[in-house]
Amino acid sequence: MLFFIVKGGIVMVPIILASIVGAGIIVDRFIVIRRVYRLDMQKFSRDVLDLVDKGKYREALVLCGQKKDYPLAAMYAAAIENRLLSRLELEKLLERMGNHAVKTLEKRLGGLVSVVGISPLMGFLGTITGLIRAFMAWEKAGNDVTVSALAGGIYEAMITTAAGLIVAIPYYLCYNYFISRIKYFSHELDDYCSQLLELLTRGKVL
């Protein structure tokens, strides 16, 4: 590995740094998203809705308080505590909280996108600088040029391109995975909160 890094030249440094930053973001987001899904939202929602349907708001708030670190529980608690508001006001309240929860999950994903975009570009830059080195060696050697004289530049050109793609491809797959999980989570929040709204606003006007 050290051989390839050395042969890749100076351009390998930002590629390696980008890969380290990207790996850190991936680990961080994986932990955060996994923590959110530790709550069985279907069971939790069913239990809270059952209490709300029976008018047991205090018990529902206690149940939400036990899971207060989870976005759905916090949103349910806020809606129940403000149940006297109009449906439109409750919808706006839950929408704000839902957007905040999604933004929290999306945090640092912009940095991951930057790593995905920059890595292959840095690889292509290494390709150009490597070819420049090779042609400069060729010009200097003239008719006496040898493969070994060109090898350094060619190594740099090929290795940096490969390194950039090796970083970008798996990181892009990770980014898509995170986005898909966040979208699914957002849809779940909308669905469960809509069910609570129906119970809290029965008979209410906008």
Summarised one tens digit per residue, pLDDT across range 119-169 is 999 988 888 877 777 667 656 666 665 656 555 566 667 888 889 999 999
The one-letter code for the residue type at 70 is: Y
The pLDDT, as a whole number, for residue 47 is 95
DSSP 205: -
The pLDDT, as a whole number, for residue 123 is 87
pLDDT at 1 over 80: no
The pLDDT, as a whole number, for residue 152 is 56
The one-letter code for the residue type at 47 is: D
Close Cβ partners of 29 (under 8 Å, ≥ 6 residues apart): 105, 107, 108, 109, 112, 178
The string of DSSP codes covering 2-16 is HHHHHHH-TTHHHHH
The pLDDT, as a whole number, for residue 91 is 93
Instruction: Kindly report the backbone phi and psi dihedral angles of residue 154, in degrees, each rounded to the nearest multiple of 5, phi listed first.
Output: -65, -40
Q: Are 47 and 61 in contact (CB under 8 A)?
A: no
The pLDDT, as a whole number, for residue 175 is 97
The whole-angstrom separation of Cα 97 and Cα 100 is 5
Residue indicated by tokens 């991951």: 112
CB-neighbour burial class of residue 85 (10 A; exposed 0-12, middle 13-18, buried 19+): middle
Close Cβ partners of 201 (under 8 Å, ≥ 6 residues apart): 86, 87, 90
The whole-angstrom separation of Cα 171 and Cα 116 is 6
In this prediction, residues 95-120 reach a mean pLDDT of 95
Output the pTM of the full model: 0.83
Kindly report the average pLDDT of the chain as a whole number: 87
Confidence of residue 20 (pLDDT cuts 50, 70, 90): very high
